[in-house]
Amino acid sequence: MKRELYLLLLSALGFSAACDKENEPNQVCMYGTPRIDFRIQGKVTDPAGNPIPGIEIRNEDRSYGKDNTALTDEKGLYDISGSAFSPEFNLSFHDIDGPENGGDFETETLSVKFTDEELTAPGSDSWFNGTYTRTGADVILTEKNSEEEE
């Protein structure tokens, strides 16, 4: 009885803890949560339009144990890809080197919500919902106010 309650709880959460193919060859073994693959490209600039190198972009979803990150290059361009649990998640933009890149910039968040038009490869089953691609996801960072830091 205790095992059945445990399995019921796990299945309600989207997990399967028991898969006995040896004794039950027709059993379907599934676990986890549906996912998407994504690729997002853009440019990070200051309010004057100057590119900002060395900005770290993070997928705050951090799906499947991966810490998806990217850095802007000398032209402020970034390209981040990975997996997410949903076509809706947040990317955060962090100035990790302070004034070395021309300023000390505030952290910004970009809310991503992929549309059907951005689906570049359909999913293969109910666990993989496809690949989404977005270009032109540009972000403008503002400098930190030095008075707030004091």
Q: Residue 100 above 90 pLDDT?
A: no
Contacts of 117 (CB under 8 A, 6+ apart): none
3-state secondary structure of 140: strand
Mean pLDDT of the chain: 81
- pLDDT tens readout for residues 54-64: 999 998 765 55
- pLDDT tens readout for residues 9-47: 555 555 444 455 466 555 555 566 788 999 999 999 999
| Count of beta carbons in the 10 Å neighbourhood of residue 87 | 18
